[in-house]
Structure 1
Amino acid sequence: MKVDDPFVDRVVTPVLVLVDNATGDGGGLTAEPVVSQKVAGPVTLAIRIYELDKSGLLDHRVGIDSIPVPAQAIRLTTRTGTALGTLTTDANGRASISKTWAELGVATPQAGSNVSLTWSGEYKGQAFSRLSRVQAVN
């Protein structure tokens, strides 16, 4: 008999969403990966989306395989709800977008300015979201 966890009201994401160029861990191992971008110039953000094939989980020669998810629609918004764009992953499961700091809602960026982001979509009928943040550096 399955017993629901009363403390966690979430479901497991149907995909692995990695944030490119996140500092520290490759974009997938922290709750909120941070991408550092220069104060001057465009802000370029990118993600990679994978489906995890766990059929070889119990075979040490196979393990879990990460399969890129092509043609996946992703909505990028700030956590305040401002829409930044809709992206589609390429054949390698990668999608990117370039914005100015002003488009991200930061009129005068300074080192330390940051914007909290949400990447969201739906895969095989299940919604998913990935949080990240972009931070200005000199």
Structure 2
Amino acid sequence: MKVRKKQLLLAAGIIWGFAGINILRIGILAYRQNWSVRNALISLAVFAVFRAMVFGKLVKKHTARIMNYTEEKQFILKFFDVKSFCIMAFMMSFGIGIRMSGIWPDSWIAVFYTGLGTALFLAGTGFISRYIKVHSLGRRSAAAEM
């Protein structure tokens, strides 16, 4: 299925946002018995690292890549490049494996997943805000041509 390239931004936002909400939900549920100011500060640090070093850069990089496609219509899954599909598959496999194995205590799941999930969710909202911006710019351009 092919969509306009700006709609790839919306697809990316929905996928990353959905992933973020799911991970954040797991973290919040684990926080029920593990709340402390120390844990909240560690979650904030995890969030800051992932936001600054991974997902903030990813949103900018993928937005530029998507908007630079020469053909207007693209396959719906082209919002990811191969590296991003691998990152998502690794994160899912690693996360499920860690939780199922019980290697990490619930306190670490709470801290790490809350920070990571928030960063992922904000990456999703970043893509959606870029979609809205591109979409509204397209409307203004079309209205100006009339």
Pick the TM interval, shorter chain. Answer: under 0.3
| Bigger-Rg structure (1/2) | 2
Q: TM-score, normalised by structure 2?
A: 0.24
